[in-house]
Amino acid sequence: LRSLAIRAPLTGLYNRRFLEEELAQRLIHVRHEARPLAVAMLDLDHFRDYNERHGHRAGDLVLRSLAVLLQGFRQGSDVPCRYGGEEFVLIMPGATASEAAARLEPLRCRLAETGIHHEGRPRQPVTASIGVAEFPRDGVEAAPLLDSADRAMYRAKRGGRNRSCGAIASGE
């Protein structure tokens, strides 16, 4: 029952409820240890259009594929989560924002190169926009840190999509 309560059924990743609780706990630990922590928010580009063009089952395949990629790219105590819809978050304890962005660049490229096969036909690859924020620079509590990563992700979308952006420490 606990697993059902904290995991997103489609992807098997931790859900938003778990993310918020886990991030708050991780922030306590890194604050005490004076270590950085990065939060990356990933959003699939034009995903609504993808679902309309190829159908929701093809879209579900894309979501599961990204979940598998996130699991494969995580390191150490990283925590991949499904935030909601086509948004995902990766909590990266011990990583700075620049380290997190560098680690996620190969994932972003791999996703853009990965075609999905559905109903015996290849479907177009999808891309992701990524925003990265760092504790304590971009937020000292879970909600402001997630908000910073979210704003950075939207800057990546406005900048042309299929790219990463870091948070702007002084606000955006």
pLDDT for the residue 169: 64
pLDDT-based confidence at 171, cuts 50/70/90? very low
86 in catalytic set: yes
Residues present in the chain in total: 172
Dist. CA 3–CA 38, nearest whole Å: 25
Place of tokens 């270590």: 35
Convert the pLDDT of each residue in 113-156 to its tens digit.
Answer: 887 777 777 777 899 999 999 999 999 999 999 999 999 999 99
Convert the pLDDT of each residue in 50-85 to its tens digit.
Answer: 999 888 998 999 999 999 999 999 999 999 999 999
Single out the catalytic residue among 21, 86, 113, 134: 86
Dist. CA 132–CA 53, nearest whole Å: 30
Estimate to the nearest angstrom the gap between the alpha carbon of 125 and the chain centroid.
Answer: 17
Estimate to the nearest angstrom the gap between the alpha carbon of 109 and the chain centroid.
Answer: 14
Q: Percentage of the chain with pLDDT > 70? A: 96
